[in-house]
Amino acid sequence: MAYQGYEAVVTYDEDAELFHGEVMNLRDVITFQGRSVAELKKAFAESVTDYLAFCQARGEEPEKPYSGQFVVRVEPALHKSVVTAAKRAGLSLNKWVAATLERASG
């Protein structure tokens, strides 16, 4: 499910006959639930809207699911190899890694 750039994963509790949802890829926790798909969608939208209003009331920027930054830890030999490949391609390490990831992700 997606709403205003936020994506959620949903599970179903068969015993409670209830859908549970949680927004993914945030440190902040945004959850919601519903008994039907329509109720679940409404609860999701309300939870995200409430989260954004809460952040605004506190004067804080809401957390975004993807910042465009991530840390990758590799062995020193691989680090050296990718820096060398980037230099050979005439690119910064960031641009080389981004281009390589884009090609690999299709």
- What is the chain's pLDDT, residue by residue, as a tens digit (106 residues)? 999 989 999 999 999 999 999 999 888 999 999 999 999 999 999 999 999 999 999 999 999 877 788 889 999 999 999 999 999 999 999 999 999 999 999 8
Q: What pLDDT score does 66 carry?
A: 76
Q: In sequence order, which ranges of the chain are alpha helices (DSSP H)? A: 37-58, 76-88, 93-105
pTM for this one?
A: 0.66
Would you put residue 20 in left (φ > 0), alpha (ψ -120 to 50) or beta?
A: beta
Q: What pLDDT score does 69 carry?
A: 80
3-class secondary structure, 76: helix
Q: What pLDDT score does 87 carry?
A: 96
